[in-house]
Amino acid sequence: MNGNYISLGALVDKWLAPSQSRPARVTCMGRLIATHGRYVRLEGCTSTRTLTIVFFRHDDRSWCVFPPARTSPAMCSRLFAQ
């Protein structure tokens, strides 16, 4: 697991600073087609505007605002070594 792991709730508090008068809400959640990774789109209101942020779940179980890197197929040479 990532030593710098921050929960999704902590990230929501950091980026959207929800309160009772201005709550954050989940507007969309699902899986990415390419990587099957999860994502959550959240919306919150600041004093002047509405802010929408998409968080992506990474393989180390961390949540980030950028999607995980795609893994490409690789050939393993040890399977063919004799």
Going by DSSP bridges, is the β-strand pair 25-31/63-64 parallel, antiparallel, or unpaired? Answer: unpaired
Whether 38 is covered by a domain: the verdict is yes
Q: Under a CB-based contact definition with an 8 Å cutoff, are residues 35 and 25 in contact?
A: no
Q: Under a CB-based contact definition with an 8 Å cutoff, are residues 37 and 68 in contact?
A: yes
Work out how many domains the chain is built from and give that number.
Answer: 1
Whether 72 is covered by a domain: the verdict is no
Q: Under a CB-based contact definition with an 8 Å cutoff, are residues 30 and 38 in contact?
A: yes
Mean pLDDT of 1-20: 81
pTM of structure = 0.73
Whether 2 is covered by a domain: the verdict is no
Domain of residue 36 covers 8-67
Whether 34 is covered by a domain: the verdict is yes
34 pLDDT above the threshold of 80? no
CA pseudo-torsion sign 71, 77, 80, 82: negative
Structure-model confidence comparison of residues 76 and 29, the more confident one? 29
Whether 81 is covered by a domain: the verdict is no
Q: Please state, rounded to an integer, the average pLDDT across all residues of the chain.
A: 83
Whether 50 is covered by a domain: the verdict is yes
Whether 1 is covered by a domain: the verdict is no
Whether 77 is covered by a domain: the verdict is no
Q: How much is the pLDDT for 52? A: 92
Q: How much is the pLDDT for 18? A: 87
